[in-house]
Amino acid sequence: MSLTLAFLLAGQIATPPATPVVDPQTTADDTGREATGRTGPASSNAGGDILVTARRRAESVQRVPIAMSVIGGTALAETGTYNVNRLTQLQPSLQFYSTNPRNSAANIRGLGAPFGLTNDGIEQGVGIYVDQVYYSRIASATFDFTDTERIEVLRGPQGTLYGKNTTAGAINVTTRKPSFTPEARVELTGGNLDFFQGKASVSGPLVEDKVAIRLSTSITTRRGTIYNNRQNEWQNSQDNQSLRAQIYWKATDALDWTLYGDYNHQNPNCCVQYYARVGATQRPITRQYAALAAAQGYTVPSTNAFDRVTDVDTDLRAKQELGGLSLVGNLDLGAATLTSVSAWRFWHWDPSNDRDFIGLPITTVSANPSQQSQVSQELRIASNGTRALDYVFGAFYFYQTIDTQGLQVQGPAASAFLGAAGVDGLTSRNSIGFKNTSAALFGKLTWHPTDQLSISPGLRLNYDKKKGSYVSLVTTATGSTTLTSAQRGVLAPQSYQPDFDNWNLSGDLTVAYDVSDTVHSYATFARSYKSGGINLSGLPLDGANNPILATATVKPEKVNHFELGLKTQFADRRATVNVAAFWTEIQDYQTTVNNLQVNVLRGYLANAPKVRTRGFELDTAFRPTARLNVYGNAAFTDAKYVRFTNAPCPPELSGGTALPVVDGRIVGTPAAAGTPGNSLPYCDISGQMLPGISKWAFSYGAEYNLPVRLFGTDGQLYAGVDGSYRSKFSSNPSRSIYTDVDGYALTNFRLGYRKEGSWNVFGWLRNAFDTDYYEVLATQSGSTGLVVGQPGDPRTYGLTLSKSF
């Protein structure tokens, strides 16, 4: 079991070995165990080193300079970390938010993707890689971790090392490799809420010493945590299945190939957001939520979201299929290794949502089924670390297509609730197409002028082209395409073809100095770019309710990143303390904003002129005795808009009559916050915190074990605890008094018995104190004042049994 630690990585990114693991007990997950006794979320790498193959040779992550965390497969199992969402409880610098698989976002140090509804027309700043293959959308990475050897979380820009440019960091998932030694693994878990998870894998030779295969599968099912008393069913359930296969061919002593294939199917009854609270806006009192609901004779089942009951009246669905094929080849040239990574992947999305979030038929259909396909090719050559100058050079090509068929239907309560005559039955059918081409040349040198000093410059030349098509046909209940101004204010017909292309050159420089064998330091400067994009969710409207075509594209983000790091080990390497401090400035930050129309249902992308995030990270691990392991990680992240003067206003300053703008100046006086009257057309939110980012975040834990003899075999009885804390964060692009998510702490316990390399059985208790917390809050469209939420999981408990053969 390897542990969440912040490490420093220089040169090339950590990649799987060029040859498969011959002995299943010497994987990277277990290498740390052999060196240290135990490593993991409740332990330290004290007394030994966790190894990575960053430069095609095994080397300690403590000696290489990028902030990096590593979690092994056993640690993932024992902490219940079986997807990216749960990874955040072990990684203070990682944020993950999701209202459904498509509308998911992963951020590192507060950067990566805009907070809010996903827009396909832009890149993600956090790269997701599985066995060296780039996953172009975080939605396609919402699978369960299956047969995972380790997960590496790299913090900060990685564009000179990875195929795809990543300005915020990367999550690198490495699965277990085929083995020439026959082996099998089985893991079964059962728990409350009808939770069941089964994982199995088998590996062995097909042709002795030449061809090996690994097959693995997983199933996860769980009853929902939210009860819908209108539809008489549990919602926000889990229903995931996956299959994965690998075939390794050792063609010659110098050449090997690995063919990967995977298929994942998910069909949960998911995902519902519902009543959390109500806040006053600047709409007339009769047009705010309380009066609108009363006029319809409607009351929600409960005004306490943690009663976990709703009455949304639209069926929910979050069905997705994803998978693909990839071929990775390694040719050992002696002084260097040539690597080829070829891949094709697909993602099919079939949703159903209730976008009014309550039991009234306001918006009866809101869905954007989507089909995505991508191909990529990476060719990389890296030195084998045999001389004073190490290097990695690569070329990367990526092509992606997305086809989306949007449908939105306004129900029989729409006119009364939205205050717009004639919108009952109003229907929008959207045809959305997207083509994305990216190509790059990248490279990094590492020069060692002395045994203690290394200097590592890197460069990346990148080209991006995005081309889209958005056509929205809007019809009335009678099928007419002739619309009134009120109808166009709710659903506006649009047709536009955005186009963006851009070249950019980015680079970085890292200087690392080994003070001693156990004290290492580094300094990094990076200038990177996140590609510009196009709006594919509809454009804002002008005063005549026509789309503003100038907003069809968004500019690239320009990132200046500074980082200092120090990592140390002492007490005979039984203690590890790593510190990183960073300062990142972003010009033309890509963010989600709202239309000024009262009844708009979706936002669009725009650029905030300047954003800054800064902070520090502390990662510690201690092994005071052979039986006790303790760890503690902390992240302080101060992220804010430095300059954003024309941002959307928060709910309490929205909904009234918009004041006019004359010669660039707002004319008139707005009403007080939450008071009906005039509203500002836009707000200056310079200095406010960025959404989705806690200023303070911690993870911590301990594990204690005792040797025991049970049923005639020697093993370990162990008890562990893992905890996490996140302070308050904003859940709205413009901070609102209604959408701050209060800080919360989660605590997990486990108690079990294991025999190394054989079997493990343990009971677990997660969210042990049944803490009530929101994963995300959002507002209902129309400035009604309704705030909806998505509560986190309640207390869960169960038993896990795993066996290796």
Residues 469-489 have pLDDT tens digits of: 999 999 999 999 999 988 988
Helix (H, G, I), strand (E, B) or coil at 62: helix
pLDDT at 449 over 50: yes
Closest CA to 155 of 165, 167, 169, 144: 169
pLDDT in tens, 93-152: 988 888 888 888 888 998 888 776 677 888 888 888 999 999 988 777 777 888 888 888
CATH pick for 6-366+375-424+436-804 out of 2.40.170.20, 2.40.50.40, 3.30.70.260, 2.60.40.10: 2.40.170.20
pLDDT > 90? residue 601:
no
Residue holding tokens 């002129």? 609
Q: What is the mean pLDDT of the chain?
A: 87
- The pLDDT of residue 161 is 82
pLDDT tier, 242 (very low <50, low <70, confident <90, very high otherwise): very high
What pLDDT score was predicted for residue 5?
Answer: 32
β-bridge mates for residue 141, sequence order: none
What is the residue type of 622? Answer: F
Greater model confidence, 544 or 476: 476
Model confidence pLDDT, tens digit, residues 348-399: 999 999 989 999 999 999 999 999 999 999 999 998 876 788 899 999 999 9
For 388-423, how does the pLDDT look when each residue is reduced to its tens digit (9 = 90+)? Answer: 888 999 999 999 999 999 999 999 999 999 888 999
The helix (run of H) or strand (run of E) holding residue 417 is helix 414-418
Return the percentage of the chain with pLDDT > 70, whole number: 91
Taking only the tens place, the pLDDT of each residue in 203-214 is 999 999 999 999
Beta strands 255-266 and 238-250, pairing class: antiparallel
Q: What percent of the chain has pLDDT over 90?
A: 65
Residue 453, strand partner residues: 513
Average pLDDT (35-55) is 43
What does the H/E/C string look like for 649-695?
A: CCHHHCCCEECCEECCEECCCCCCCCCCCEECCCECCCCCECCCCCC
CB atoms within 10 A of CB 483: 20
CB 398 within 8 A of CB 438: yes
pLDDT value of residue 106: 86
- pTM of the full structure: 0.89
Q: Are strands 499-514 and 519-530 parallel, antiparallel or unpaired?
A: antiparallel
pLDDT of residue 96: 86
Residue-level pLDDT at 117: 67
Write out pLDDT tens, residues 619-653. Answer: 999 999 999 999 999 999 999 999 998 888 999 99
Q: Which two tokens stand for residue 290?
A: 């309380």
- The pLDDT score that the predictor gives to residue 426 is 96
Please give the pLDDT value at position 7.
30
Evaluate if residue 199 carries a pLDDT over 60: yes
Range in 29-43, 576-590, 717-731 with the lowest mean pLDDT = 29-43
Alpha-carbon distance of 294 to 277, in angstroms, equals 16
Assess whether pLDDT exceeds 70 at residue 719: yes
Closest to 323 (Cα-Cα) out of 362, 364, 373, 277: 373
Strands (E), 604-648: 604-622, 628-643
What are the boundaries of each domain within the chain?
6-366+375-424+436-804
